[in-house]
Structures are given as structure tokens and as C-alpha cells.
């Protein structure tokens, strides 16, 4: 009797031991930090990816919003985290390719302090006119701004952002001096655009695309090299006669020293998520492009954008605070 009881207990112990590693993996939580409030494009895309990644990885994946300092707080926290694959950051490129040229005490090195995991999307910017601007195409609006310099203002979601400097490039290329009006996010900027307080806005298409479709504002041009799939009727700046191209990207990063096998596993999960038709449809609807590339390609893209923005930022004379 005792022998049979011992054998049964041993079998039960062996069975529990066999499933323990899988149970442990399922209980581990992957935390993806987003340095912006819920509802913005970075947050929406990160949540779409997380929903698919938790299935592929067979573990819990949560989005942790850590807004502040235009994404820098989230990056700084990931820099300090252990390289165990449990803490990542999903970031638009500005904090990694724009801010290094603006802040002498950034708090992180955009190359040395992070491990690239996957490029997860690309996007350009919409040049949008509100009711405070006259009717007509981009050239007509620019002509009006040139004739009315006190009204030649453009809004963005913040100072020291890619849209801020894309607007500066537009001003320089068109020969129309413009005053930048920085808001704390794209939503309040869009509301003032709709209300006529500011005539022009330069920001991600996701901030104004629904208002454009509703007829409240007019997207006059996009800053990408090709027309945006979700806005095929809208010309690029080059098609509108302005020799400017500007775009950005979303990247998933871990702290420095993330093991190669962990990076590979996470990258595959991102790739799988971006192949899902429902994810692609939702991202395209925001005016973004669901684009996947691996860690090496993400590192190369980041390096190219760092180099691309150096001179425009230095030539702008803009001085960041903080």
C-alpha cells in the first residue's frame, strides 16, 4: 500500500515538474512602456501589437503608459531595467533621433543604452489647414500666410518634435516665415485648428484624418516620399511644389545587453502581429504604415535618421528647455 502511494506521489511530482517551466513562462509579464498618454498613435499601435504578441509569446503582455518629457521618461526607465526581456519600450523615433541633438543632458545614449528589437511602423506628417486659413491648395494658403505674417502660425504636438522641424523645413523651402505654436499633444492642437485659433498644423495624420474626412479641416499635403495609402487624394509636398520630405518610425527597444535569442523571439512576435490583417487595417486607418524590419534594420534606420536631422536642427537655432 505504501509502495503504491509513494509511486503515485512520485508520478504526480514528476508531472508537476514537467509543466512547471511552461506555467512559469505563462506567468511572466512582458511590460511595454509607451512614453505618451493613452489614445495617441504610439499607444494605439503598441496595444494592437500587444494583443497579438501575448498569443505568439504565450505570456501576459501589458502596455504601461509613462507619459512625460516627450517620451524620454519611458526610455530612461527602460535604460535602467534589467536586460531580461521583461521590460521594453515602444517609441516613435523623435526621442531617439531628434532629442539627442537638442538636450545636452538627455539622460540616455540613444545607441549605447538600448537594444533594437524591431521596427514596427513608419509614418509621415499631414500639413492640415483649418477654418482659420483661406480656401485653396497649399500654395494658396502659403501665399496668404506670406501676405499676412502675423497670422503665419503652425501648430504641432510639441516643441522639439519631428513635426516641429518638419514645419521649419516647410517654411524654409517655401520662403514663408512661420511661427511655431507648440501644444501639449496633438489633440489640443487639432482642437485649436478646428476652432480657427491657428490656421495650419503639421503632425501625424492620425491627429486630423477623421476631422479631414468629416470636412472640419483640410489635409493639404503629406510629407512622405509617396502618397499616403489612406489619403490617396492628398499630394505629397514635392507634388505640391515644395522640395521637402520628412518621415518617422516606431521602434521596439529593450535595455542594452538584451540576449540575442530574446531579441529574436520578440522580433518574430512583432512580425507575426504586423502580418495580421486586422492589425494592418487599423494601422492604415490611422494614416500610418505597418512596416516590419528586424533589429539590424532598425539600428540602421535609426542611424540614418540621426544623421538626417543633425543639420536641420542645428540650423534652426532652436534651444530646448530642460
Give the per-residue pLDDT at 22: 46
Task: Answer for the pair 126, 248: CB distance below 8 angstroms, yes or no.
Answer: no
CA–CA separation, 316 and 48 (whole Å): 36
Burial grade of 35 (CB within 10 A; 0-12, 13-18, 19 or more): buried
Q: How does strand 200-204 pair with strand 153-156?
A: parallel
| C-alpha gyration radius of the chain | 23
Q: Is the pLDDT of residue 19 over 70?
A: no
Q: Is the pLDDT of residue 3 over 60?
A: no
Min mean pLDDT across 19-28, 112-121, 198-207, 262-271 is at: 19-28
Please, which pLDDT band fits residue 70 given cuts at 50, 70 and 90?
confident
What is the rounded (10 degree) CA torsion for 182, 94, 35, 80? Answer: -130
Please, which pLDDT band fits residue 16 given cuts at 50, 70 and 90?
very low
CA–CA separation, 79 and 74 (whole Å): 9
Question: What's the mean per-residue pLDDT of the chain?
Answer: 91
The per-residue pLDDT for range 207-230, each reduced to its tens digit, is: 999 999 999 999 999 999 999 999
Residues in a beta bridge with 129: 200, 218
pLDDT (average), residues 171-175: 96
CA–CA separation, 229 and 226 (whole Å): 9
What residue ranges define each of the domains in the chain, with the CATH number in brackets? 29-122+248-316 (3.40.190.150), 124-222 (3.40.190.10)
Give the per-residue pLDDT at 27: 60
Amino acid at each position: 500500500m505504501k509502495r503504491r502511494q509513494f509511486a503515485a506521489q512520485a508520478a504526480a511530482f514528476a508531472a508537476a515538474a514537467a509543466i512547471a517551466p511552461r506555467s512559469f513562462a505563462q506567468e511572466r509579464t512582458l511590460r511595454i512602456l509607451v512614453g505618451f498618454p493613452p489614445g495617441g498613435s504610439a499607444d494605439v499601435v503598441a496595444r494592437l501589437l500587444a494583443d497579438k504578441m501575448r498569443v505568439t509569446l504565450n505570456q501576459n503582455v501589458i502596455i504601461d503608459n509613462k507619459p512625460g518629457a516627450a517620451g524620454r521618461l519611458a526610455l530612461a526607465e527602460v535604460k535602467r531595467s534589467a536586460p531580461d526581456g521583461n521590460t521594453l519600450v515602444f517609441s516613435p523615433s523623435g526621442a531617439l533621433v531628434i532629442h539627442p541633438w537638442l538636450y545636452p543632458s538627455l539622460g540616455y545614449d540613444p545607441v549605447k543604452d538600448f537594444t533594437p528589437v524591431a521596427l514596427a511602423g513608419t509614418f509621415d506628417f499631414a500639413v492640415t489647414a483649418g477654418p482659420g486659413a483661406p480656401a485653396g491648395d497649399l500654395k494658396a494658403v502659403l501665399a496668404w500666410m506670406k501676405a499676412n505674417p502675423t497670422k503665419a502660425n503652425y501648430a504641432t504636438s510639441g516643441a522639439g518634435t519631428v513635426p516641429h522641424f518638419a514645419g521649419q523645413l516647410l517654411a524654409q523651402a517655401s520662403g514663408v516665415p512661420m511661427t511655431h505654436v507648440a501644444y501639449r499633444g496633438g489633440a489640443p492642437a487639432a482642437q485649436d485648428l478646428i476652432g480657427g485659433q491657428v490656421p495650419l498644423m503639421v503632425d501625424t495624420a492620425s491627429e486630423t484624418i477623421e476631422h479631414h474626412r468629416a470636412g472640419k479641416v483640410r489635409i493639404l499635403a503629406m510629407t512622405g516620399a509617396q502618397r499616403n495609402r489612406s489619403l490617396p487624394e492628398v499630394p505629397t509636398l514635392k507634388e505640391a511644389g515644395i522640395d521637402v520630405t520628412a518621415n518617422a518610425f516606431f521602434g521596439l527597444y529593450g535595455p542594452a545587453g538584451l540576449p540575442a535569442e530574446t531579441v529574436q523571439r520578440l522580433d518574430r512576435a512583432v512580425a507575426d502581429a504586423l502580418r495580421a490583417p486586422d492589425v494592418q487595417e487599423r494601422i492604415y486607418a490611422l494614416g500610418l504604415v505597418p512596416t516590419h524590419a528586424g533589429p539590424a534594420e532598425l539600428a540602421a534606420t535609426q542611424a540614418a535618421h540621426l544623421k538626417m536631422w543633425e543639420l536641420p536642427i542645428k540650423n534652426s537655432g532652436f534651444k530646448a528647455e530642460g
